[in-house]
């Protein structure tokens, strides 16, 4: 190694140490954890069940279900519901639900999901509960929150976060981006007249940011979101970005201080190798560790969407995919 090369390496290392956070280069992204069994999934939400093992729910079917005893071998376990609740048909002709979110609170599992049609914000978010979190045990409770064509937001892609005794739901896709509304913790539905907070958008139409998920770590709340285009197989450009705030309702900024409401956001994970269009993410706890769940499109399998799982490490106050 030459002296010049050594000095360059030292300077680069020093600069990296001084930066508050640096996004990983694409070639350095780790591959997802190897899994077996049923890998096909889209917009996954994962939870470690109180009874042991794991459940994953997703877009597809009547909220498609996957179960695993160890988080590595997954089996197709049918659907959350045997039949779509009748009110879903108000939002699409097939009763097709999207992008669920599972959580556990006060002895009950809560499953949020969206119903809509491609290209419209005539959309609604619903909720169901279960004592076990297992497919076939869910009781639907109807609409939580909705949007209409006259609104500047889109009520899909729900995710919950509890903060200082209050319950919040992030949501949003295109239509000016990511929003948040407060819920009644007893009913799990939006408080009447609740303010709709604006968390993230992009400066350019069609404001391609969606799938929000907020996590508390230390003194900060971290907003994860999917940017660019999903659902096009190997042509998908989905990627995951993140910002943080000391308040659950924002403002969220990236490591350089740029607000997510002005197009900011640190790149957390993007397509690399055979793993194309990483997004539709959620975060779950497993034995005290944070795990990122997402889908990617498999370049070796004609762009089939599959489950990605990576542990999250926290470095200098920011998440990194491990």
Q: Where are the domains of the chain?
A: 37-321
> How far apart are alpha carbons 295 and 239 in whole angstroms?
10
User: How far apart (Å, rounded) are the C-alpha atoms in residues 155 and 246?
Assistant: 25
Angle at alpha carbon of residue 266, lines to 260 and 270, rounded to 5°: 120
Average pLDDT (65-76) is 98
State mean pLDDT over 182-195: 97
Q: Catalytic: which of 43, 96, 290, 298?
A: 43
Scanning the chain, the segments in alpha helix (DSSP H) are: 3-18
Look at residue 12 in the predicted model and tell me its pLDDT. Answer: 35
Q: What is the CATH number of domain 37-321?
A: 2.115.10.20
User: Above 80 in pLDDT, residue 2?
Assistant: no
Residues found in the chain: 322
User: What's the chain's average pLDDT?
Assistant: 92
Kindly name the residue from 39, 101, 182, 210 that is annotated as catalytic: 210
**Strand runs labelled E in 51-96:** 54-58, 64-68, 73-79
Which tokens go with 5? 């090369």
At 235, is the secondary structure helix, strand, or coil?
helix
pLDDT classification of 18: cutoffs 50, 70, 90: very low
Tell me the pLDDT band of 23, cut-offs 50, 70 and 90. low
Does the pLDDT at position 309 exceed 70?
A: yes
Banded pLDDT at 14 (limits 50, 70, 90): very low
Residue 25 pLDDT level (bands cut at 50, 70, 90)? low
Which whole number is the average pLDDT over 236-262? 98
SS3 175: coil
Is the pLDDT reported for residue 19 higher than 60? no
pLDDT digits (tens, 9 = 90+) for 109-154: 999 999 999 999 999 999 999 999 999 999 999 999 999 999 999 9
Tokens for 28? 């350095």
In this prediction the pTM is: 0.92
Region 211-235 average pLDDT: 97
Q: Are 279 and 229 in contact (CB under 8 A)?
A: no
Rounded to an integer, the average pLDDT of 37-47 is 98
- Band the pLDDT of 28: cuts 50, 70, 90: confident
Band (pLDDT 50/70/90 cuts) for residue 223 is very high
Which of the residue ranges 19-33, 179-193, 243-257 would you say has the lowest mean pLDDT? 19-33
Enumerate residues 6+ apart whose C-beta is below 8 A from 178: 170, 171, 172, 198, 199, 200, 201, 209, 210, 212, 223, 225, 260
Give Cα 179 to chain centroid, integer Å.
14
**Which helix (H) or strand (E) covers residue 5, if one does?**
helix 3-18
| pLDDT at res. 202 | 97
Check whether 102 has a pLDDT greater than 80. yes
Q: How far is CA 133 from the centre of its chain?
A: 19
The CA distance from 271 to 279, in Å, is: 9
In the residue annotation, 210 being an active-site residue is answered as: yes
The fraction of the chain above a pLDDT of 70, given in percent, is 92
- Percent of the chain topping pLDDT 90: 91
90 is known as an active-site residue:
no
Q: What is residue 252's predicted lDDT score, i.e. its pLDDT?
A: 98
For 70-85, what is the mean pLDDT? 98
pLDDT band at 258 (very low <50, low <70, confident <90, very high): very high
Q: How far apart are CA 40 and CA 20, in angstroms?
A: 37
């Amino acid at each position: 190694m030459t002296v010049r090369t050594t000095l360059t390496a030292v300077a680069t290392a020093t600069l990296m140490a001084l930066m508050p956070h640096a996004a990983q280069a694409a070639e350095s992204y780790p591959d997802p954890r190897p899994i077996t069994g049923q890998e096909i999934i889209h917009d996954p939400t994962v939870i470690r069940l109180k009874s042991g093992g794991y459940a994953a729910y997703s877009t597809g079917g009547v909220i498609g279900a996957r179960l695993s005893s160890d988080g590595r071998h997954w089996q197709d376990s049918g659907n959350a519901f045997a039949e779509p609740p009748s009110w879903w048909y108000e939002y699409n002709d097939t009763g097709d639900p999207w992008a669920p979110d599972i959580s556990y609170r006060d002895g009950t599992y809560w499953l949020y999901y969206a119903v809509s049609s491609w290209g419209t914000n005539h959309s609604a978010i619903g909720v169901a509960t279960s004592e076990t979190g297992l497919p076939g045990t869910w009781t639907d409770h109807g609409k939580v929150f909705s949007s209409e064509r006259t609104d500047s937001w889109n009520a899909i892609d729900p995710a919950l976060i509890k903060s200082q005794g209050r319950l919040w739901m992030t949501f949003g896709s295109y239509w000016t981006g990511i929003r948040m509304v407060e819920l009644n913790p007893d009913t799990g539905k939006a408080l009447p007249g609740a303010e709709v907070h604006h968390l993230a958008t992009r400066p350019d139409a069609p404001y391609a940011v969606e799938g929000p998920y907020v996590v508390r770590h230390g003194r900060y709340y971290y907003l994860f979101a999917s940017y660019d285009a999903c659902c096009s197989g190997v042509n998908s450009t989905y990627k995951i970005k993140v910002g943080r705030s000391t308040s659950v309702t924002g403002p969220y900024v990236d490591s350089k201080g740029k607000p997510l409401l002005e197009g900011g956001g640190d790149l957390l994970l993007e397509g690399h190798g055979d793993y194309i269009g990483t997004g539709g993410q959620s975060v779950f706890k497993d034995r005290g560790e944070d795990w990122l769940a997402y889908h990617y499109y498999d370049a070796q399998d004609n762009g089939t969407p599959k489950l990605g799982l990576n542990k999250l490490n926290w470095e200098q106050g920011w998440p990194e995919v491990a």
